[in-house]
């Protein structure tokens, strides 16, 4: 009689497991199943942590906030934040906001903010303000990326000294063998080579500038937690490559985000993207 009762119970559990719909799953660089706890443990021992997000994915933004909170519990004031979503010429108003000198209304009307700022990035900035943490605007002002897109790095030689303080020091290293830039140039297809190269250089000026301001604010013994689109740190290239050119001894942990139809197993294409790969169902809602 007991055996007859066990079988239906097993079937009920099995069906329940099959119907479970996890919002995300985490894998390590080799594609093996990992966990948030393992990711947090590694991040807490790093010098610099890159959370590579999908800009419109709510799971990414939720986990960014959770990682921030948990790292703060471990490191306290020995934590610095930075993000691609804020440009270097907005650092003054960000500092004023963090000090409570600027109201939310004024900050949001004067700073150049992304459309999903209130839902996705304001919680990070507000946490920094409430916890007395520094928050660094690391990205190059978009007008200078646009200049590079049109005229290459040479276009930056025309800007004045004050403007140059908002950009990575010139000349900008540019390795055309890095897959992150090769893919951009390849995507241009039949376009003239100088045009495709300039588009890749516009990406590189962002990566180089973000690396520059991360290093400029990094303190030994602290953790710098940086939020950026995955492409800027995937395959340990982009920003990571520029950091390593200056300080190859930095302990860096990278997180990438991908979407899959089925998050149960990591696709072969996504293996090796980062130290930790966050896999999210393609059917997930969008934040913008």
99 falls within a domain: yes
Q: Which residue range forms the structural domain that includes residue 89?
A: 22-131+210-264+272-281
251 falls within a domain: yes
Handedness of CA 235, 191, 85, 211 (dihedral sign): positive
153 falls within a domain: no
Closest by alpha carbon to 137, among 49, 216, 39? 216
Cα angle: 278, vertex 284, 288; to 5 degrees: 100
> What DSSP designation does 140 have?
P
Q: The pTM is what?
A: 0.91
pLDDT of residue 7: 52
pLDDT of residue 287: 85
Name the one residue in this structure whose structure tokens are 């390590």.
28
Q: Which helix (H) or strand (E) holds 97?
A: helix 91-98
Helix axes 193-217, 179-187, angle to 10 degrees: 150
97 falls within a domain: yes
Q: pLDDT by residue for the chain (288 residues), tens digit each?
A: 445 455 565 555 444 445 678 899 999 999 999 999 999 999 999 999 999 999 999 999 999 999 999 999 999 999 999 999 999 999 999 999 999 999 999 999 999 999 999 999 999 999 999 999 999 999 999 999 999 999 999 999 999 999 999 999 999 999 999 999 999 998 877 555 666 799 999 999 999 999 999 999 999 999 999 999 999 999 999 999 999 999 999 999 999 999 999 899 999 999 999 999 999 999 999 987
CATH number at residue 38: 3.40.50.11550
Cα Rg of the chain, angstroms: 21
171 falls within a domain: no
Total domains in the fold of the chain = 1
202 falls within a domain: no
Alpha helices in 111-238 (DSSP H): 122-130, 142-151, 161-164, 179-187, 193-217
pLDDT of residue 1: 47
SS3 content of the chain, % helix, strand, coil (to 5): 50, 15, 35
220 falls within a domain: yes
pLDDT of residue 21: 84
69 falls within a domain: yes
C-alpha distances in angstroms, 18 versus 8, 15, 21, 104?
Answer: 15, 5, 8, 45
Pairing of strands 135-139, 276-281: unpaired
């Amino acid at each position: 009689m007991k055996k007859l009762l066990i079988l239906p119970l097993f079937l009920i559990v099995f069906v329940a497991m099959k119907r479970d719909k996890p919002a995300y799953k985490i894998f390590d660089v080799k594609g093996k199943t990992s966990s948030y706890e393992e990711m947090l443990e590694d991040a807490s021992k790093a010098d610099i942590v890159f959370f590579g997000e999908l800009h419109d994915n709510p799971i990414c933004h939720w986990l960014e906030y959770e990682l921030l909170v948990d790292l703060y519990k471990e490191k306290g004031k020995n934590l610095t934040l930075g993000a691609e979503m804020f440009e270097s010429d907005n650092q003054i108003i960000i500092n004023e906001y963090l000090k409570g000198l600027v109201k939310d209304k004024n900050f949001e009307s004067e700073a150049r903010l992304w459309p999903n700022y209130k839902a996705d990035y304001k919680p990070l900035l507000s946490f920094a303000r409430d916890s007395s943490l520094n928050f660094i605007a690391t990205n190059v002002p978009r007008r200078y990326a646009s200049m590079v897109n049109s005229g290459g790095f040479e276009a930056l030689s025309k800007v004045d000294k004050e403007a140059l303080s908002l950009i990575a020091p010139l000349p900008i290293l540019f390795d055309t063998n890095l897959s992150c830039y090769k893919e951009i140039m390849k995507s241009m297809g039949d376009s003239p080579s100088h045009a495709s190269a300039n588009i890749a250089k516009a990406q590189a000026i962002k990566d180089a500038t973000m690396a520059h301001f991360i290093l400029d604010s990094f303190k030994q013994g602290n953790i710098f937690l940086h939020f950026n689109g995955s492409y800027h740190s995937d395959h340990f290239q982009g920003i990571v490559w520029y950091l390593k050119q200056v300080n190859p001894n930095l302990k860096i942990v990278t997180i990438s985000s991908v979407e899959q139809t089925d998050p149960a197993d990591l696709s072969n294409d996504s293996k090796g993207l980062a130290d930790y790969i966050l896999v999210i169902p393609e059917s997930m809602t969008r934040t913008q």
